[in-house]
Structure 1
Amino acid sequence: RLRIKLSEQDRKEAGFFKPTAIVDQAWQLTLASAKALRATTILFQCPASFTPTAEHISHMVDFFTRIERTGLRLCWEPRGKWEQELVRDLCQDLDLWHVVDPFVNATMTPAQCYFRLHGRQGWRYQYEQQELTDLVELLPTNQPSYVFFNNVYMRQDALVFKNLLEGE
């Protein structure tokens, strides 16, 4: 997230992968931060208002085909209503990992998993052991995967999940 004060004009030109100077500036800051942190993965989480219109798709395709991305995994979490086939095609064409809550939607990039668990009934939800056991089965074998718990009980859920992965 760009953490600088934007003018009213800049706010109109920001976001949604628009081909604007402010979007390019935000990407350059993100890229510099990733390099400084030696991060290998960047998540693009889109709001539900980023809908699959021709304009949005065009901006997205343009953005991901022109940016520098050497050595980076780029992950995309579309929110709202996106047809799975379109998501699959965009991820394939743009070399993106599809980010999902696997208890809500299936990933369209099953060999490259990035799961964000938001809680089945909201962020105050704590996962049961069987749910986390089921989650282990969704991960590809011998491939890097990401699982991010985005709920109040994230620490506890992550520790139980880690123990399941380690066979304890």
Structure 2
Amino acid sequence: MVPNVIRIGCCGFPVSRKRYIKEFNVVELQNTFYNLPSREWCRMLHDSLPQGFEITIKAWQAVTHPPTSPTWRRMRSKPRGELSNYGYLKYTRENIDALTEIVERARILGAGIIVFQIPSSMPCDKESLENVDRFFKEAINIAGGDVKLGWEPRGECSRRREVLELIKENGLIHVVDPFKAMPVSLPGGVAYFRLHGIGGEVNYRYRYSDGDLMELYKLITKLNPRVAYVMFNNVYMFEDALRFKKLVESMKT
């Protein structure tokens, strides 16, 4: 059985935008993680893309990563307030204010999904998960029905039963690498995969083999979501995504 829709793309533009949109109809923006983009930039990008091209975004690191994270060094303008209240999906005024800004940018971009990827260093104790639960409940209220929220837990959190239950209870998209885990739920029939390479939690220099791509197709077919987002996030993402696109097309004939 062929899934209803498989949307294939990359995490970021690995080639020129013009070349990319000739091949794919979806991209997960990565610059939105390092810095909160201006409203003007979001409008400009939205207006420059062809009708039917879809954007998803990786959430600004201010809400997912603590100020001690090396990735904060790439942040051009630090957020307002007490910096220690940022990151790890804490339920704080600072995080919620940053979240509100993220959702606003998503709406301007026309993005239907925001991906929250936490670092593997995030604590996974009771207090932390209570914070995460309150954060996502507030996030759902802010996002409304037009912007969906996906969570990619990593490290210890990716294996905790309490985390998986939290994802299901809040109706979050469970963002996973399908070669490591499968989603615990499909809210609205949506599956969202981010492929970081095989071997370790991430292996960005991995090049997917033809056998890997066929296995990926079979995993998606068995899951049978209404829509499957397949976003490559390795050094060879453009080439691998293109090969997977051709494989999927060949299975329809």
Please report the TM-score for the alignment, with normalisation by the length of structure 2. Answer: 0.61
Name the stretch that deviates more: 55-64 or 100-109.
100-109
* In structure 2, distance between residues paired with 1:29 and 1:149: 26
- Runs of 4+ more than 4 Å apart: none
Separation in structure 2 between the aligned mates of residue 106 and residue 20 of structure 1, nearest angstrom = 31
Q: Pairwise CA RMSD of aligned residues? A: 1.9
Question: For residue 143 of structure 2, what is the aligned residue in structure 1?
Answer: 69
User: What is the Cα deviation at residue 6 of structure 1?
Assistant: 4.3
Which SS does the other structure have where 2:250 is aligned?
coil
Cα separation, partners in 2 of 1:84 and 1:166, compared to 1, 3 Å: farther
Q: Name structure 2 gaps, 5 residues minimum.
A: 1-59, 63-74
Q: Which residue of 1 aligns with 2:65?
A: none
Q: Is the 8 A contact 1:87 1:98 kept in 2?
A: no
Contact kept? 1:84, 1:108, Cα under 8 Å:
no
Q: CA deviation at 1:48?
A: 0.9
Secondary structure in 2 aligned to 1:55? helix
1:116 aligned partner: 194
Cα deviation digits, residues 39-82 of structure 1 (max 9, x gap): 11000000112232111111111111123122222110111113
- Aligned equivalents of 2:99 and 2:138: distance in 1? 11
Matched, 1:132 2:213: yes
Q: Which residue of 1 aligns with 2:181?
A: 105
Task: Give, in whole Å, the separation in 2 of the partners of 1:93 and 1:142.
Answer: 19
TM-superposition CA deviations, 1:11-61 (whole Å, max 9, x none): 211012222222112101101110001111000000112232111111111
Partner of 2:137, secondary structure, is: helix
Identical amino acids, percent of aligned pairs:
35
| 3-state secondary structure, aligned to 1:75 | strand
Equivalent residue, structure 2, for 1:96: 172
Please say which of residues 78-87 and 10-19 is displaced more in the overlay: 78-87
Q: Deviations over 1:82-112 (max 9, x none)?
A: 3353233111111111111111223222553
Match of 1:106, SS state, is: coil
- One-letter code aligned to 1:18: K
Whether the 8 Å contact between 2:196 and 2:204 is mirrored in structure 1 is yes
Q: Matched residues in 1 for 2:104 and 2:177: separation?
A: 28
Q: Is the 8 A contact 2:152 2:176 kept in 1?
A: yes
The answer (yes or no) to whether the contact 1:114–1:145 under 8 Å persists in 2 is yes
Q: Is the alpha carbon distance of 1:36 and 1:6 closer, same or farther for their aligned partners in structure 2, counting shifts above 3 Å?
A: closer
Aligned in 2, Cα 1:94/1:143: closer, same or farther, shift over 3 Å?
A: same
Decide which moves more: 127-136 or 101-110: 101-110
Distance, in Å, in 2 between the alignment partners of 1:66 and 1:5 is 23
> What does the per-residue CA deviation read over 1:115-155, in whole Å, with 9 as the maximum and x for residues that have no partner?
11111141111000111111112224361111111100000
Higher-helix-fraction structure: 2
**What's the counterpart of residue 152 of structure 1?**
235
Count of residues in Structure 1 that have an aligned counterpart in Structure 2: 167
Residue type at the aligned position of 2:149? L
The residue that corresponds to 1:45 in the other structure is: 117
- Where does residue 87 of structure 1 map in the other structure? 163
Q: Aligned partners of 1:44, 1:135: CA distance in 2, in Å?
A: 23
- Which ranges in structure 1 are unaligned for 5 or more consecutive residues? none
